[in-house]
Structure 1
Amino acid sequence: MSGRVLVGVKRVIDYAVKIRVKPDKSGVVTDGVKHSMNPFCEIAVEEAVKLKEKKLIKEVVAVSCGPQQAQETIRTALAMGADRGIHVQVMGKDYETLGPLQVSKIFAALAKKEEAQLIILGKQAIDDDCNQTGQMTAALLDWPQGTFASELTYEGGNLKVVREIDGGLETIQINMPAVVTADLRLNTPRYATLPNIMKAKKKKIACMSAADLGVDLTSRLEVLNVEEPAVREAGVKVETVDDLVLKLKDTGRI
């Protein structure tokens, strides 16, 4: 395999931050909140860089959609080993309603523009948990897809993908070009070293808009209300199995 890999790197609220709902319940508070790269995107970047280190591909391009701050996420990917970045600027209302379908259209357009051989995305983002972008991108491009990948091997012009499924593991073989989404066990992302962080500052990030790619960002979804999850009620301790059975009967559980 030679050619170019596009890797999606989404900027999300950091996994360690406690999420707060806005007073008007229109969304979650993002101002002044720490953001970082989506953890599954880190795994996707690591896998792409590994493919380049094995000389199976020539170039890794990190792509992020969002406001100016998305460039910080791209710089992190560049420090991990990506060669260059593409920032698709999405601002204001368009960013608030940006969903998997819109991002998929952007990736499909970029794949054609960049003549990519492979797209690697995180299987899902920890903010919306949609788990849709990879599948939608593959559908728009009419490319084979290997989702929930826990192992990726290049064999004789094809990709062998071991997938995490409910019943265990499934192994498939897909032709190139293709879309792969990274699961948790695919690899352990490397830490960006200080020299690589410094080198990343000199790598190029191209900026463009969705309109430049001919993509309409109009959303088909409308968020009506966002609420905190219900507070979990305190449990009850019982002394014996008989007490447990009696309690379950009293509450109509059995």
Structure 2
Amino acid sequence: MARVLVGVKRVVDYAVKIRVKPDKTGVVTDGVKHSMNPFDEIAVEEAVRMKEKKLAEEVIAVTCGPAQAQETLRTALAMGVDRGIHVEVSGPEYDTLQPIHVSKILAKLAKDEKVDMIIVGKQAIDDDSNQTAQMTAAFLDWSQATFASKIEKTDGKLTVTREIDGGLETIEVKLPTVISADLRLNQPRYATLPNIMKAKKKPIKKVTPADLGVDTTPRIQVVSLEDPPTRQAGAILEDVDQLVVKLKEGGHI
């Protein structure tokens, strides 16, 4: 049976209206509700289902972030994950933490924990990078199955249905592998109160990127972050003739 490592990220809750900082260096996060990245919830659910089907013997969740990121790990543990690993990154180092750093961290932990499979969300809803799964597979030289909407295990292999621009693509990958979860892979469960209480007793190991030999020096500099331009109000025209006149004038409709 496989051992599964699941990546989870603490992000600003999807229902919160994002506000850009006055100095345009990022978004306001202080005093703002955070939760687990929705695509990572799907990844956790899939890993837990694998364990319930006896396809996985252990599920380990890992998160990179400040002390508050432990709340995200506890949510994963309450959903059925066995144990957690908190890679402590805070302050300016966390502000410039990029997918390449997270990928190296996941790759190192995969080797240390001797896992056969890594499952992450296809992207995080804060930076929308969609890079971590692909780069992790490259660092490990493992097979990869991104944008997975269905996963079936047969004869030591995985048959994965992927969501692509033209529809659906079905591929077969050998273990070990890296999978990124798409929206339609499953419907994540709610953590019940008894499981939330049990999660408080499950172990969480703390490490730092330095402990794992990962250099988190930023490779990218954010020059400026700005709100998208406000759309101008539309206008109702009486007929096509008025539309033609407006278009000739170069006006906005």
Aligned match of 1:100: 99
Gapped regions of structure 1 (runs ≥ 5): none
> Whole-Å Cα distance in 1 between the matches of residues 5 and 101 of structure 2?
17
Matching of residue 251 in structure 1 with residue 243 in structure 2: no
Q: Where does the alignment leave 5 or more consecutive residues of structure 2 unmatched?
A: none
In 2, Cα distance between equivalents of 1:14 and 1:82: 21
Match of 1:224 in 2: 223
Give the TM-score of the pair, scaled to structure 2: 0.96
SS for the counterpart of 1:30 is: coil
Where does residue 113 of structure 2 map in the other structure? 114
Relative to structure 1, the CA distance from residue 29 to residue 252 in structure 2 (aligned partners, 3 Å threshold; closer, same or farther) is closer
Question: What is the DSSP-based 3-state SS (H/G/I as helix, E as strand, rest coil) of the residue aligned with 2:56?
Answer: coil
Distance 1:247 1:138 in 2: 53
Q: How does 1:69-84 map to 2 (within 5 A)?
A: 69-84=68-83
In 1, Cα distance between equivalents of 2:198 and 2:239 = 64
Q: 1:167 is matched with which residue? A: 166
Written as runs of structure 1 = structure 2, the 5 A alignment for 1:136-175 is 136-175=135-174
The C-alpha deviation readout for 1:232-254, integer Å capped at 9, x for no partner, is 1111222334544554454399x
The alignment-based identity, stated in percent, is 69
SS at match of 2:67: coil
Q: Residues of 2 paired with 1:112 and 1:6: CA distance?
A: 11
* Residue type at the aligned position of 2:206: C
Tell me, in whole angstroms, the C-alpha distance in 2 between the residues paired with 1:104 and 1:128.
15
Residue of structure 1 equivalent to 2:46: 47
CA shift, 1:98, in A, is 0.3
Give the secondary structure class of the aligned counterpart of 1:230: coil
Distance 2:153 2:39 in 1: 21
Hey, what does 1:33 align to over in structure 2? Answer: 32
Q: Tell me how far apart the structure 2 counterparts of residues 50 and 139 of structure 1 sit (CA, whole Å).
A: 26
Task: State which drifts further: 218-227 or 169-178.
Answer: 218-227
CA distance in 2, matches of 1:20, 1:252: 30
What is the alpha-carbon distance in structure 2 between the residues aligned to residue 183 and residue 242 of structure 1? 46
Alignment of 1:57-68 (within 5 A): 57-68=56-67
Letter in 2 for 1:64: T
- Secondary structure of the 1:202 match is coil
Tell me the distance in 1 between the aligned counterparts of 2:249 and 2:169: 44
Look up the SS of the partner of 2:170 in the other structure.
Answer: strand
TM-score (norm 1): 0.96
Q: Cα deviations across residues 128-153 of structure 1 (Å, max 9, x unaligned)?
A: 00000000101111111000000011
Equivalent residue, structure 1, for 2:132: 133
Q: Deviations over 1:82-118 (max 9, x none)?
A: 0000000011111010010000000000000001100
Deviations 1:30-80 (A, max 9, x none): 111110000000000000000000000100101000000010000000000
Q: CA deviation at 1:22?
A: 1.1
Query: 2:12 corresponds to which letter in structure 1?
Result: I
Please give the secondary structure, in 2, of the residue aligned with 1:25: coil
Q: Which residue of 2 aligns with 1:202?
A: 201
Partner of 1:6: 5
Distance 1:159 1:233 in 2: 49
Aligned residues: 252
- Partners of 2:164 and 2:245 lie apart in 1 by 38
